[in-house]
Amino acid sequence: MNIRKMLLASVAIACAFPAATLADTSDKKIALSNNYAGNSWRQAMLTSWEKVTGEAVKAGVVSAADAFTTAENQATEQAAQIQNMILQGYDAIVLNAASPTALNGAVKEACDAGITVVSFDGIVTEPCAWRIAVDFKEMGRSEIEYLAKRLSDGGNLLEIRGLAGVFVDDAISGGIHEGVAENPQFKIAGSVHGDWAQDVAQRAVAGILPSLPEIAAVVTQGGDGYGAAQAFAAAKRPTPIIIMGNRQDELAWWKEQKDANGYETMSVSIAPGVSTLAFWVAQQILDGKEVKKDLVVPFLRIDQDNLEANLEKTPQGGVANVEYTLEDAQKVIDSAK
């Protein structure tokens, strides 16, 4: 009696959600292999994953979407984790890698076992895996593009870089310098490393400010705009246009300035919700869709008019986020063709 009821109920559910394109992956299991969870960005990334995949599992799109994080942020540990996932019988592994190369052996092992591997943010170079990369170079270039529109006369720029030796820092900075080469009215008067942290950026900017001429704008990499603003205020120098990086404190400061004196800037960074985009891409691949191995994820840009809306959604001490849907993923997949 009970079983019959359950069967009937499941038939009813199946009829209520006619998911023709989704049916093929309803018995598939997807795992998230994450190397690090120690900052607000990663925490937001995991929360987004839980939220979006939780709904997807409930709706029967996939049967499981479990998140695993290694304890020590070490490549060898993550390689072991991936090998465990192979044993656990997952159909796809979504991967934020500790190293672009050191996991290749384990990734190859997974591919050979017929598992779809989609890497994002921290991508892997193994050819059998998919890569969802952020065009960091373009992100740097877009900052200069915005400034060129705002400051037709150009001027001196202060560049705040990220953590030295990390490829993201090189890529964003490369884009900024490319942009400056295209717009010769700008000149980079000084450059410091802010390590993507407000306190480090504030100290670094305060240190270099006395030696700098008048600064028209500050180009940043995210996580450093608020510290730069504080350093300018402490030195009693006029506040230049500071490009922000979607952190809550940056957006809050911008809002405050906007209300007080009509301060205008823009903010750009990657949304931690990119993990959910990777999830949908993996689901699409499992569904049999042909997907290019290299995809580019759009970055999240906040402008003067949508500042309030984004600030409201961003938790205290967090990062502005956007969670991707199946349609977003399909758009990204189609645009790569």
Partner 1 sequence: MKLNLSTDSVRLLIPALSLTVLLCAVFYLQPRAMSYTGLNLLFNLAVPITLATIAQMLIMTVNDLDLSMGTFVSFVACVAATFLPTDPLIGAAILLAAIAAYAVLGIVIHVRELPSIVVTLGMSFVWGGLAVLILPAPGGQAPVWARLLMTSKPPLVPMAIVASIVIAVVTHFIVMRSSFGVLIRGVGGNTRSVERAGWSIIAARGGAYALAAFFAVLAGIALVGLTTSADANIALRYTLLSIAGVILGGGEFVGGRVSPVGAVIGALTLTLAGSFLSFLRISPDWQIGAQGAILIIVLALRLLLNRLEKREKGR
Residue 215, helix vs strand vs coil: coil
Q: How far is the CB of 66 from partner 1 (least distance, A)?
A: 7
Q: How far is the CB of 103 from partner 1 (least distance, A)?
A: 7
> Torsion-angle region of residue 196: left (phi > 0), alpha (psi -120 to 50) or beta?
left
Inter-axis angle of helices 104-112 and 75-87, nearest 10: 10
For partner 1, the closer CB: 81 or 220: 81
Per DSSP, helices labelled H in the chain are 2-16, 40-58, 75-87, 104-112, 136-150, 167-182, 198-208, 225-234, 248-261, 274-286, 307-313, 326-335
Inter-axis angle of helices 225-234 and 198-208, nearest 10: 40
Q: How far is the CB of 62 from partner 1 (least distance, A)?
A: 17
Question: Which H helix or E strand runs over 300?
Answer: strand 300-302
Residue 78 to residues 33, 125, 279, 282, 327: CA-CA distances in angstroms? 8, 15, 19, 19, 31
Sign of the Cα pseudo-torsion (203, 207, 210, 211, in order): negative
For partner 1, the closer CB: 101 or 185: 101
For partner 1, the closer CB: 165 or 262: 165
Sign of the Cα pseudo-torsion (194, 200, 203, 207, in order): negative
Q: Which residues contribute to the site for partner 1 (CB under 8 A)?
A: 37, 66, 68-72, 74-77, 79-81, 83-84, 86-89, 99-106, 108-109, 113, 125-126, 165, 167
Q: How far is the CB of 111 from partner 1 (least distance, A)?
A: 12
CA distance 79 to 109: 10
For partner 1, the closer CB: 109 or 287: 109
For partner 1, the closer CB: 43 or 156: 43
For partner 1, the closer CB: 126 or 249: 126
Q: How far is the CB of 83 from partner 1 (least distance, A)?
A: 4
In the block, residue with structure tokens 């506040």? 239
For partner 1, the closer CB: 77 or 259: 77
Q: How far is the CB of 113 from partner 1 (least distance, A)?
A: 8
Q: How far is the CB of 51 from partner 1 (least distance, A)?
A: 17
